[in-house]
Structure 1
Amino acid sequence: MRIRRYKSPISTTAKPFRIVRRLQCNPTYTPLRTGPLVNAAVLAALSATSSMSGLTLGFCMRLVGL
């Protein structure tokens, strides 16, 4: 992947079709490449969070008497 140089801000007097074309040619996002280890860590964190949420909700419902 080639890193492009940052382009100067778009002029306010530029015609609309040029603004659209400049924005399409110069995306502001950069895709992240993560490895399988990072994916596994994120999945483990999400599953731990959801299970703790379920336990907490179940405990609160038990206290209320539902």
Structure 2
Amino acid sequence: SKLTKALENAVRLFEPRLSNLKVKLEPFSEVDKVLRFRLEALLKVEPTPEPIAFDTVLQPGNGEFEIKES
């Protein structure tokens, strides 16, 4: 989707230490009116890259967001 591509591009631009980046958007919840997505990537560190993941919740109505390390 356009949103996942935009998120991937923004992360790549501002965090060059990440590779193999994947953004997964969950279906919009009509119940709690939030967008949920997960970022998965490899963090380029020595001696070997470290897999990382972040679950993110965006509340479009008030502009607040929450990021949690998975």
| TM-score normalised per structure 2 | 0.22
Decide which structure has greater strand share: 2
Decide which structure has greater helix share: 1
| TM-score normalised per structure 1 | 0.23
Q: Which has the larger radius of gyration?
A: 1
